[in-house]
Amino acid sequence: MRFFTALAATVLWGSLMLGCQSISTTNYEEKENRRDFTIDAAGGSYGVSLFPKTYGALAGPSFSLVVVSPVLVGDTVLTNSGKSSLIPWFNARGVAVWLVRIPPGMQLEKFGRQVLPTITAAIRKNSNDAQWVMAGVSLGGQAVAHYLDDAQKNATVSGMLVKAAFFLGTGFDYAYPGSFSRRLAGVSGQNVCADEFCTRYLAGIKPELVSARSALFDAAGKPVWRETLDNVSLKDKGVRVMFTAGKIDNVAPSESVYKFFVKTIGGETKNSPDVRFFMPGRMNRYARDYDHAMMIAADDLASELLPDVLKWIDL
């Protein structure tokens, strides 16, 4: 496995040094505050980037965050999507972020179950942090769900104890009526936005950030995601879980996300601080009803939803 080697000490030292700076930003330019590495796992090589914390180390939360590619859109959306982006938002609040990239056309179940455990083991080995949180964004959240389905086993193997996870716009039932899966299957050519797919499902995301159709299907033409995650259960896995679903998200409809939440918590009438469901929208005191683009990249995400996510993580 090729990972860190001589750079390990430099990375940890750089993380500590950056942690003492008083920098606050909500957007990064190309490769700003970023260190890139490669991990060999399951017969392939995978890219990982570390974004060290940029706030006062003592003032920030006591965990590091592992974010997995959104898949449906490019990773750039997490760092440089406009005025506010997810990764620098967490960095500025004292959280070191590890971005794990999923190669185009790779099945998310295989990545979550066979590749991600090796990646988390390598990350944990080269970090001083003891507490970890995982984030699943858009389609990439399915890989996180597959990983957490074996959370206890993976914690034993990797040494990374994931205390909490949150999902932003991840669908757990893409076969839901009017689902984007059927619409995407009918897209001709590689430019997903050419057939007005983006107008309905990804309005607000720059077309150049939307993945090519080839990145969303494997070599056999099969979608990289599962239509329904019927082989995954996040109940009683020792990980606190937050599900968020946009009020008007057409990619991951709130009804389908809520269905998976009920399965996780064990019933519609049950309540638990360890399993939460949030639906950003006007009826829940948010400024606007959230669509899919807002769930992964919007000024409102940074000003409204992410503060609620961070507050929940630190309970």
Determine the longest span between alpha carbons in the chain, in angstroms: 53
What does each C-alpha distance from 145 to 34, 104, 135, 231 come to in angstroms? 26, 19, 10, 10
Look at residue 104 and give its three-state secondary structure: coil
Structural domain that includes position 169: 7-313
Distance of CA 260 to the CA centre of its chain: 17
- The DSSP code for 210 is B
> What's the pLDDT at 237?
95
How is 246-261 classified by DSSP, letter by letter?
A: -TT-SSS-HHHHHHHH
Residue 118 located in a structural domain: yes
> What's the pLDDT at 22?
38
Residues of the chain with pLDDT under 50: 5-24
CA nearest to 231, candidates 135, 134, 141, 145: 145
For 171-204, write each residue's pLDDT tens digit.
998 776 556 777 887 787 889 998 788 888 888 8
> What's the pLDDT at 5?
44
Q: In what order do the strands lie in the sheet with 64-68?
A: 35-41, 44-51, 97-100, 64-68, 132-137, 162-168, 240-244, 275-278
Residue 39 located in a structural domain: yes
Tokens 């590890």 -> residue: 98
For 5, residues 6+ apart whose C-beta sits below 8 A from its C-beta are: none
Residue 1 located in a structural domain: no
Residue 2 located in a structural domain: no
| Calpha distance 25→171 (Å, rounded) | 30
How is 41-54 classified by DSSP, letter by letter?
A: ETTEEEEEEEE---
Residue 219 located in a structural domain: yes
Q: pTM value?
A: 0.90
275-278 vs 240-244, strand pairing mode? parallel
At 22, which CATH number? 3.40.50.1820
Residue 308 located in a structural domain: yes
Residue 100 located in a structural domain: yes
> What's the pLDDT at 188?
79
Work out how many domains the chain is built from and give that number.
1
Residue 139 located in a structural domain: yes
> What's the pLDDT at 284?
84
Q: How far apart are the first and last CA of the chain?
A: 36
